[in-house]
Amino acid sequence: MEDGTSKFPGHCGDTGDDYGVLQWDTREDCEVRQILDRVADKWSLLVIALLDRRSLRFTELRRQIDGVSQRMLTRTLRHLERDGLISRTVHPTVPPRVDYELTPMGATLHDTIRTLVTWTEEHQNEIAAARAAYDARALAEQEAAERESAARDALARDVLAGGR
Amino acid sequence: MEDGTSKFPGHCGDTGDDYGVLQWDTREDCEVRQILDRVADKWSLLVIALLDRRSLRFTELRRQIDGVSQRMLTRTLRHLERDGLISRTVHPTVPPRVDYELTPMGATLHDTIRTLVTWTEEHQNEIAAARAAYDARALAEQEAAERESAARDALARDVLAGGR
DNA sequence: CAGTATCCAAGCAGATACTG
DNA sequence: CAGTATCTGCTTGGATACTG
């Protein structure tokens, strides 16, 4: 068995001192932060997105999610099942068949996830541009530093040569 | 230097075969998937949420985000800056002062993130209940298996005892 | 088919020490 | 103050082999 979050940290969002929007940021081991980590997980997002279309079996999921190992897929599915976001139904046939599908709660999660995905799609060009600009700036700075260093070395050599 | 995503995978969302909502799931190294991983990062979420309130300096962020090391905070800030989600302004004073704030794009991201946080807050009880139910079920199954195994052992002992 | 179990490598992340 | 640099443990995750 591979454990799986044995600690129950307790709430931290109802302390009453709500000075704006969030209180979940200060405390570590906040339950909201834990759930967020689970939900914002790389594979979880993909699984939920895929299952929103229709229920899928293990191998179908595995094929559709490029790059996932069966270990990670299994883990992800167990976690989502434990959190009540997906349901797992085993058909006692030979060979065995297992179907995964979103629970109602999982479906509501997908709605909010989709806004995140949509945001990403809409801004991917802007982000790519920002990265390119950042990298270009960093490169320019680095080259400037190298030129300066080279100039300093040359100067030092000249001084030494003139001094002898 | 600590590198920082040197590969540019190129788009994968405009293939045209859009049979529903998503195409970004199949291919690994999809740009959307990468951005999503960055954006859905544990610390990124917290930083963006905090900076939405007001701009903050390095140490203020560090104090408000419980559990982050300065290494991770620095990395997160650099990544977000590179992606054009936050801006970094250095005030040439002594001691130095650096302010971080959301860019307009970062602010739009916070809007979508907030829906995710809200979802989490609204469902944390339901999720906790689902976990408890799952764990209880798993425990029950395990105990049942142990009882069965014990019964089998007892039967075997009886058979042996009767056979001599 | 749908996993579980095990081993092992790479990278993530914390602690510490040092710098402009 | 706001970092960078380095060392290192530990988790994450892939590959492989095996089971019901």
Task: Return the pLDDT at A103.
Answer: 97
* Inter-chain contacts counted by CB atoms under 8 A, chains A and B: 163
User: What is d(CA A39, CA B93) in angstroms, rounded to the nearest whole number?
Assistant: 42
The residue type at B122: E
Mean pLDDT of A144-152: 63
Task: Return the pLDDT at B15.
Answer: 41
Q: Is A66 on the interface with B (CB under 8 A)?
A: yes
Phi and psi torsions of A21, nearest 5°: -125, -45
Express each pLDDT in A15-27 by its tens digit. 433 344 455 665 7
Give the closest nucleotide to A98 (alpha carbon vs C1'): C2
Q: Is B112 on the interface with A (CB under 8 A)?
A: yes
- The better pLDDT of the pair A41, A99 is held by A99
Residue B135 scores a pLDDT above 70: yes
The answer to whether B102 touches B110, Cβ cutoff 8 Å, is yes
Task: Return the pLDDT at B123.
Answer: 93
Residues of A within 8 A of B42 (CB-CB) are 33, 36-37, 40
Residue from A11, A82, A110, A146 to probe the interface with B (highest B Cβ count within 10 Å): A82
Express each pLDDT in A53-94 by its tens digit. 999 999 999 988 888 999 999 999 999 999 999 999 999 998
Express each pLDDT in A106-122 by its tens digit. 999 999 999 998 999 89
Please name the residues in contact with A31: beta carbons below 8 A apart, sequence gap of 6 or more.
A9, A10, A11, A12, A13, B124, B128
Residue B84 scores a pLDDT above 90: yes
User: What is d(CA A139, CA B70) in angstroms, rounded to the nearest whole number?
Assistant: 25
Count of CA atoms in the C-beta half-sphere (13 A) of A138: 13
Please name the residues in contact with B62: beta carbons below 8 A apart, sequence gap of 6 or more.
B68, B70, B73
What is the number of residues in chain B? 164
Mean pLDDT of B85-92: 95
Inter-chain touch A67–B120, beta carbons under 8 Å: no
CA distance B41 to chain A (A): 7
pLDDT confidence bin for B21, thresholds 50/70/90: very low
Task: Return the pLDDT at B20.
Answer: 42
Q: Is B25 on the interface with A (CB under 8 A)?
A: yes
Continuous segment of H or E residues that includes residue A90: strand A86-91
Q: Which residue in B96, B94, B49 sits closest to B76, CA to CA?
A: B49
User: What is d(CA A109, CA A87) in angstroms, rounded to the nearest whole number?
Assistant: 14
Q: What is the DSSP string of B35-78?
A: HHHHHT-HHHHHHHHHHHHS-EEHHHHHHHSTT--HHHHHHHHH
Q: Supply the pTM of this predicted model.
A: 0.81
pLDDT confidence bin for B138, thresholds 50/70/90: confident
Mean pLDDT of A157-161: 64
Phi and psi torsions of B66, nearest 5°: -70, 130
CA of B37 to C1' of C12 (A): 14
Q: Which residue in B48, B146, B138 sits closest to B102, CA to CA?
A: B48
- For tokens 């068949």, what's the residue? A97
Q: Is B28 on the interface with A (CB under 8 A)?
A: yes
In whole angstroms, how far apart are CA B62 and each of B68, B85, B100?
7, 18, 12
CA distance B11 to chain A (A): 9
In whole angstroms, how far apart are CA B28 and each of A43, A75, A163, B20?
11, 19, 62, 19
CA of B3 to C1' of C19 (A): 21
Task: Return the pLDDT at A15.
Answer: 41
Burial class, A154, CB count within 10 angstroms (exposed 0-12 / middle 13-18 / buried 19+) = exposed
User: What is d(CA A46, CA A54) in angstroms, rounded to the nearest whole number?
Assistant: 13
Structure tokens at B105: 């794009």
Task: Return the pLDDT at B23.
Answer: 58
CA of B71 to C1' of C13 (A): 8
Average pLDDT, chain A: 79
User: What is d(CA B8, CA B6) in angstroms, rounded to the nearest whole number?
Assistant: 7
Instruction: Please tell me which of the candidates A32, A46, A65 has its beta carbon nearest to residue B124.
Output: A32
Task: Return the pLDDT at A22.
Answer: 54
Task: Return the pLDDT at B137.
Answer: 87
Task: Return the pLDDT at A4.
Answer: 39
- The better pLDDT of the pair B116, A19 is held by B116
Task: Return the pLDDT at A85.
Answer: 95
- The better pLDDT of the pair A149, B71 is held by B71
User: What is d(CA B84, CA B80) in angstroms, rounded to the nearest whole number?
Assistant: 6
- The better pLDDT of the pair A38, A141 is held by A38
CA angle B117, A23, B102 (to 5 degrees): 65
What is the number of residues in chain A? 164
Residue B8 scores a pLDDT above 60: no
- For chain B, positions 141-160, list CB contacts with chain A under 8 A: none
The residue type at A114: R
Inter-chain touch B130–A40, beta carbons under 8 Å: no
In whole angstroms, how far apart are CA B34 and each of A28, A80, A94, B38, B142?
26, 21, 39, 6, 39
Task: Return the pLDDT at A2.
Answer: 44
Give the closest nucleotide to B62 (alpha carbon vs C1'): D2
